[in-house]
Amino acid sequence: MRKSLLRIQGKKWAFIKMKEKKEPKNYYHISSVSEMFNIHPQTLRLYEREGLLRPSRSEGNTRCYTDDDLKQLEVILNLTRDLGINLAGVEVILNMRKKIEQIEAEVNMFLEYLRKEFFEGKEDEFELRKKSLVHISQAKITKIEKEKE
């Protein structure tokens, strides 16, 4: 265990003991996260109870939010505030996104296997065939207003 210097709201500093990690990360206290996103701390606790967020904990059991947690929170707030999706729907969407990421990783591993097994020494041919697959970039979710009749 080591003590980490935690920056809170860009003004205050606090020491929190964190488990050893391979790379240094920024950690945010629940009060600073709630102020950043203009939500009540109880809302963050609710999201944690529902399994939508999983902040790490310090030795003193204080919630410590990482940059990844903040990205996840942005997605949750986008879905609930902007698109009007309830928490059960948010959970389904987050699970689907996770599955899609897993499938993408498996496809990439399969492509790497194919490259090594069948195209070793023929990298140019592999690149041409690889480009024949359709790549779709992630799109931002937007709400479409229905026309009133």
Q: For residue 1, is pLDDT > 50?
A: no
pLDDT the model gives residue 134? 63
Higher pLDDT, 76 or 25: 76
**Where is average pLDDT lowest: 24-28, 29-33, 52-56?**
24-28
pLDDT the model gives residue 137? 65
Q: Show the 3-state SS of the chain.
A: CEEEEEEECCCEEEEEEECCCCCCCCCECHHHHHHHCCCCHHHHHHHHHCCCCCCEECCCCCEEECHHHHHHHHHHHHHHHHCCCCHHHHHHHHHHHHHHHHHHHHHHHHHHHHHHHHCCCCHHHHHHHHCCCCCCCCCCCCCCCCCCC
**Where is average pLDDT lowest: 28-37, 70-79, 114-123?**
114-123
Q: 1-5, 55-59, 115-119 — which one is most confidently predicted on average?
A: 55-59
Query: Where do the domains of the chain lie, and which CATH numbers do they carry?
Result: 2-82 (1.10.1660.10), 87-130 (no CATH)
pLDDT the model gives residue 2? 41
pLDDT the model gives residue 10? 45
pLDDT the model gives residue 127? 75
Higher pLDDT, 66 or 8: 66
Q: For residue 129, is pLDDT > 80?
A: no
Q: For residue 138, is pLDDT > 90?
A: no
Q: What is the pLDDT of residues 57-109, one digit of tens each?
A: 988 888 999 999 999 999 999 999 999 999 999 999 999 999 999 999 999 89
